């Protein structure tokens, strides 16, 4: 409900209802959330985080739309939130560009927009963004690979990448961060095709890779865990071994529970976290706005780089030493 309508409605019922009911009605904050879809474990954790925080018990009316990775549907969802006169709009942008028109509509309607996870790169008409530095994640994976290959005495790196959804800031950042380091070090980037952040996509791309590049690769980079699950099925079927001590170094991103279980099982060689639990920080932004104060424009999530002890090596990103975290049962238990 929009603020003005809410005040009027409250004033009208105030004469008729006991004070308790008025204040309960007054406190409900409506939030529209245009979620990317349901493509991955990461996405499930992100959705749950928002549903937990913006619950009825916490005083929210959450209007949740799963946009099924459809850019047009996502813009439609945002417009439907404007029509419903919600108090706040949360967007996790499927792709990074093409946002200025709809964000201008939100601005004209006086509804604050909070962007989470992926970035909007061609408009700044939102109050805050809460998410991860995807380029740093890509650099971390590559700098780890460099240090690990040195330790293992592997001097030729022939790399296949299964990228995320093309044009999403998560894909762009991870590819840029990784590929810059790869090029500096003269590694052989054989191919990069999208698996759309899904298990089925990862499997399909890897099946093609196993046929086209048989015996020619020793590193597979999957831009999320679900793609890695699919890639593992394809490699199993093609008789390619992966994980510590095997044919292929398998790198993944997200580090959700099932991904870390595969690290512990010696299948994924290292997993670079992307933290999906943004909702509590989004609520802080909403509370700051409600108090009439200015929230931070950018809020970064904290993330860890995971491996088993034998695969933990020292590395730096732009001169900053990085800590790696050993995957243990407790760590898996605490993950999302």
Structure tokens at 228: 């890695």
| Binding status of residue 135 toward ligand GYE by CB under 6 A | no
Of the two residues 40 and 49, which places its CB atom closer to ligand GYE in the complex? 40
State the DSSP string of 108-155. HTT--EEEESS--SS---SSEEEE--HHHHHHHHHHHHHHHHHHHT--
Of the two residues 39 and 204, which places its CB atom closer to ligand GYE in the complex? 39
Chain-centre distance for alpha carbon 93: 10
Conformational region of residue 299, where left means phi above 0, alpha means psi within -120 to 50, and beta covers everything else: beta
With a CB cutoff of 8 Å and minimum separation 6, the contacts of 2 are 85, 87, 110, 111
Of the two residues 41 and 143, which places its CB atom closer to ligand GYE in the complex? 41
Shortest Cβ 46–ligand GYE spacing (Å)? 8
- For residue 213, which phi and psi values (nearest 5 degrees)? -125, 35
CB atoms within 10 A of CB 59: 12
Structure tokens at 297: 């424009």
| Binding status of residue 199 toward ligand GYE by CB under 6 A | no
Of the two residues 41 and 283, which places its CB atom closer to ligand GYE in the complex? 41
Among 254, 262, 271, 273, binds ligand GYE (CB under 6 A): 254
Among 42, 144, 217, 229, binds ligand GYE (CB under 6 A): 42
Instruction: Choose one: 34-42, 119-127, 240-248, 301-309; the region binding ligand GYE (CB under 6 A).
Output: 34-42
Of the two residues 279 and 313, which places its CB atom closer to ligand GYE in the complex? 279
| Binding status of residue 114 toward ligand GYE by CB under 6 A | no
How far apart, in whole angstroms, are the C-alpha atoms of residue 244 and residue 222? Answer: 16
How far apart, in whole angstroms, are the C-alpha atoms of residue 317 and residue 8? Answer: 54
Which residues in the 261-280 window bind ligand GYE by CB under 6 A? 274
Residues 142-181 vs ligand GYE: string with x where CB under 6 A? ----------------------------x-----------
Report whether 278 contacts 131 (CB < 8 A).
yes
Of the two residues 254 and 262, which places its CB atom closer to ligand GYE in the complex? 254
Instruction: Choose one: 39-47, 139-147, 178-186, 328-336; the region binding ligand GYE (CB under 6 A).
Output: 39-47
Of the two residues 242 and 253, which places its CB atom closer to ligand GYE in the complex? 253
Instruction: Choose one: 5-13, 40-48, 209-217, 283-291; the region binding ligand GYE (CB under 6 A).
Output: 40-48
Judged on CB neighbours under 10 Å (0-12, 13-18, 19+), 284 is middle
Of the two residues 123 and 132, which places its CB atom closer to ligand GYE in the complex? 132
| Binding status of residue 197 toward ligand GYE by CB under 6 A | yes
Of the two residues 43 and 75, which places its CB atom closer to ligand GYE in the complex? 43
Instruction: Give the 3-state secondary structure of residue 264.
Output: helix
Structure tokens at 105: 């509509």
| Binding status of residue 39 toward ligand GYE by CB under 6 A | yes
How far apart, in whole angstroms, are the C-alpha atoms of residue 63 and residue 36? Answer: 14
Which residues in the 55-94 window bind ligand GYE by CB under 6 A? none
Among 34, 43, 75, 163, binds ligand GYE (CB under 6 A): 43
Give the CA distances from residue 277 to residues 34, 43, 184, 328, in Å, rounded to whole numbers and listed in that order.
16, 10, 34, 21
Q: Which residues bind ligand GYE (CB under 6 A)?
A: 39-40, 42-43, 117-118, 170, 197, 224, 253-254, 274
């Amino acid at each position: 409900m929009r603020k003005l309508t809410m005040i009027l409605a409250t004033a009208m019922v105030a004469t008729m209802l006991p004070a308790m009911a008025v204040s309960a009605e007054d406190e409900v904050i409506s939030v529209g959330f245009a979620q990317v879809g349901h493509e991955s474990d990461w996405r499930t954790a992100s959705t749950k985080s928002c549903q937990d925080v913006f619950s009825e018990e916490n005083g929210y009316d959450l209007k949740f739309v799963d946009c099924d990775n459809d850019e047009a549907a996502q813009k439609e969802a945002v417009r439907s939130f404007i029509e419903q006169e919600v108090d706040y709009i949360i967007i996790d942008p499927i792709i990074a560009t093409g946002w200025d028109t709809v964000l201008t509509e939100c601005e004209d309607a006086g509804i604050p927009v909070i962007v989470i996870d992926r970035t909007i790169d061609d408009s700044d008409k939102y109050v805050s963004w809460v998410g991860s530095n995807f380029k740093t994640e890509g650099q971390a994976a590559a700098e780890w690979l460099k240090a690990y290959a040195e330790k293992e005495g592997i001097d030729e790196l022939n790399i296949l990448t299964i990228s995320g959804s093309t044009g999403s800031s998560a894909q762009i950042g991870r590819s840029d961060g990784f590929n810059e380091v790869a090029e500096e070090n003269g590694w052989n980037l054989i191919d990069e095709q999208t698996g759309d952040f899904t298990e089925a996509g990862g499997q399909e791309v890897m099946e093609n890779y196993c046929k086209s590049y048989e015996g020619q690769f020793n590193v597979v980079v999957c831009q999320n865990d679900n793609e890695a699950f699919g890639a593992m099925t394809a490699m199993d079927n093609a008789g390619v071994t992966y994980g510590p001590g095997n044919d292929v170094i398998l790198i993944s991103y997200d580090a959700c529970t099932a991904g870390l279980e595969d690290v512990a099982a010696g299948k994924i060689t290292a997993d670079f976290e992307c933290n999906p639990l943004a909702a509590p920080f989004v609520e802080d932004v909403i509370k700051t706005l409600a108090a009439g104060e200015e929230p931070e424009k950018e809020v970064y999530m904290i993330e860890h780089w995971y491996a088993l002890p034998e695969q933990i090596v020292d590395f730096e990103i732009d001169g900053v030493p990085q800590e790696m975290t050993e995957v243990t049962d407790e760590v898996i238990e605490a993950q999302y």
